[in-house]
Amino acid sequence: MQQDNRMSRRSALKTVVAGMAGCGVVSQELQAEGPYKTKGNLNQSVCKWCYKDMTVGELARESARIGIKSVELLTPEEWPVVKKYGLTCAMGSGADQIHVGFNRKENHDSRVANLTKHIELAADAGIPNVICFSGNRNGMSDDEGLENCVIGLKRIVGLAEKKGVNVCMELLNSKVNHKDYMCDHTEWGVKLVKQVGSPRFKLLYDIYHMQIMEGDVIRTISDNFEYLAHFHTGGVPGRNEIDETQELNYTTICKAIIEKGFRGYLAQEFIPKRDPMTSLAQAFRICDV
């Protein structure tokens, strides 16, 4: 881990202020450090499922204090809650299942019906992206799965183009967390995007998952940038904090993303081991480059 990604005492104090100001628990020493001034070059989001002890409203309130602009992987019923705090839901959930996806033709009718509903709701609510998944292999070859995904997704991308909503298939690791998942390498996902051939179908590049499967994160992002619409974070190994306790340098990764002209969202998707909001505020600062 490079030195510029480590938190000095002063930086750590400012991070706590950013995450905890207004909660009535900030000491005079922390208050004296003053609030953190956001650079704002990268839109940041946070995934709700990582904070199961908080309501959507509680997470939205604290995220807004930190400078985060979105709480995501929410169902349509939850979207209005975050809007009360001036936030959006950068990636809508509820439109698909991880293990039951587009790689099997028998799933197409149900997947298309779910995505149709969520694309229309997202368009009405101003939600930019909805998520989808390939499904598991279950003995199927990657070539057959790719062909089936193309057939199924082509049934839905016309509506996505009409409504101005991105459909994003997530890249996940099949080594640790999602055994047998098919869309587990960037190369396969990029082939799928190219064959679907729609500006409204792209990939959700999960940095945590792809570090486990491939490594070489910055080069991969740079070489395939036009096919990526969204990013997720997570510390490797363990999917915990993205600070010096893990192997990735998220400051450098985020600089590379910004240099490519990215205008979408990067979402924090780590499971905090320490005080959740302090860790989230720290992660925000690491990526606010």
Q: Would you call 227 exposed, middle or buried from its count of C-beta atoms within 10 A (0-12, 13-18, 19+)?
A: middle
Is 274:241 a contact under the CB 8 Å cutoff? yes
**Domain 39-287: assigned CATH number:** 3.20.20.150
Instruction: List the chain pLDDT tens, one digit each, 289 residues.
Output: 333 433 333 444 444 444 343 333 333 333 344 578 899 999 999 999 999 999 999 999 999 999 999 999 999 999 999 999 999 999 998 657 899 999 999 999 999 999 999 999 999 999 999 999 999 999 999 999 999 999 999 999 999 999 999 999 999 999 999 999 999 999 999 999 999 999 999 999 999 999 999 999 999 999 999 999 999 999 999 999 999 999 999 999 999 999 999 999 999 999 999 999 999 999 999 999 9
Q: How far apart are CA 107 and CA 113, in angstroms?
A: 10
Residue 130: C-alpha distances to residues 16, 142, 184, 272 (Å): 32, 24, 19, 25
Q: How are beta strands 70-72 and 43-47 bridged, if at all?
A: parallel
